[in-house]
A and B are shown apart, each in its own frame.
Chain A
Amino acid sequence: MRDWDRVDFGDLTCRQFVELVTDYLEDELDPDVRRRFETHVDGCPGCERYLDQVRTTQRTLGRMPLDALSAGARAQLMTAFRDWRSAGPGRSSS
């Protein structure tokens, strides 16, 4: 059994910890708070998991497939392109 009384939580509660996660990931914590944050996460499996899950969330967002433009909107754009091309001053001939 783990002796929780002897764990160093960096003088942070878990409730405080979760509000510091983004500043930590953005590398915006003061050195002192950063040390306490890291001490806490080393001692607290719940917060370690929380931090991991935020990172996983971030990764999942980064891999999200994005919707393409609808075929109709794309076709309209290509028509607009042709109009622009035939009207535009960039054409030497036509």
Chain B
Amino acid sequence: MERTEEQLVDALRARDERAFAELVDRHSPAMLALARGHVSSREVAEDVVQETWLALLKGIDGFEGRSSLRTWLFRVLVNIAKTRGVRDKRTVPMNLQDEPTVSPERFQSAAARWPGHWVRFPRPWPETPEHLALSGEAFELVQQELARLPQQQRLVVSLRDVDGYDSDEVCALLDLTPANQRVLLHRGRARIRAALADYFEAAS
């Protein structure tokens, strides 16, 4: 039978190796994805994940379970990754100015019949969302585009849309105001949508 998170944490306190392995397997993929938002290489990201687990072992007897284990892990991971990130700089300055998220050429000019409206509607995407979500190529493209986003956008999109955190949690984790969090999410999602749109347009 599958053990609950709470049972696993109790077992870990009792030094149960299988419980540790189970927790590592359960949480490391999301941790790795999050760490990659802070540091430039996969190797460093793996180090950060390992360090986070070691911090849990050190702190397990004091871990009170007031926050969920995942939230605790993420918070510690972000702190470790931030210190690493300083040494391993790839930060793109955060630009919160209202640069458009859809290329202006897509819209009619002031002199046109319908200023500010689409020149041509976005092309329909060929597949249903279910289909799309299962297609490996689309995932690969999304993964690549996610990796290309400026760091802050990448972190917010990963946490919100990949890991399913809500905006309050993301603001707390990354120390962002709600308004900035939304701008980052907006820009990041728009870029990934645009990449998918280009891909489908080229394929059709």
Residues of A within 8 A of B (CB): 4, 9, 13-16, 18-19, 21-23, 26, 28, 44-47, 49-50, 53-70, 73-74, 76-78, 80-82, 84-85, 88, 90-91
Contacts and interface: CB of A to CB of B under 8 A. Distances in A.
A50 to B, nearest CB: 5
A58 B101 contact: no
Contacts of B196: 53, 56-57, 60
Nearest to A61: B161
Interface string B78-116: 000000000000000000001011101001000000111
A80 B57 contact: yes
Nearest to B46: A73
Nearest to A28: B182
B182 A13 contact: no
B30 interface: yes
Nearest to B121: A46
Contacts of A68: 25, 28-29, 32
B100 A15 contact: yes
Contacts of B172: none
Contacts of A56: 125, 129, 132, 196
Contacts of B146: 61
B17 A81 contact: yes
A8 B116 CA distance: 15
B197 interface: yes
B192 interface: yes
Contacts of B25: 68, 74
Chain A CB within 10 A, most for which of B24, B61, B117, B190: B117
Contacts of B192: 57, 61
Given A54-B193, A68-B32, 12 more contacts: A15-B107, A18-B100, A44-B117, A57-B196, A73-B46, A78-B21, A80-B54, A81-B17, A81-B20, A81-B57, A84-B58, A90-B15
Contacts of A64: 139, 142-143, 162
B189 A22 contact: yes
A45 B57 CA distance: 55
A4 B113 CA distance: 11
Contact of B118 (A14, A21, A60, A80): A14
A54 B57 CA distance: 40
A60 B189 CA distance: 11
A4 to B, nearest CB: 7
Contacts of B129: 55-56, 59-60
Contacts of A78: 17, 20-21
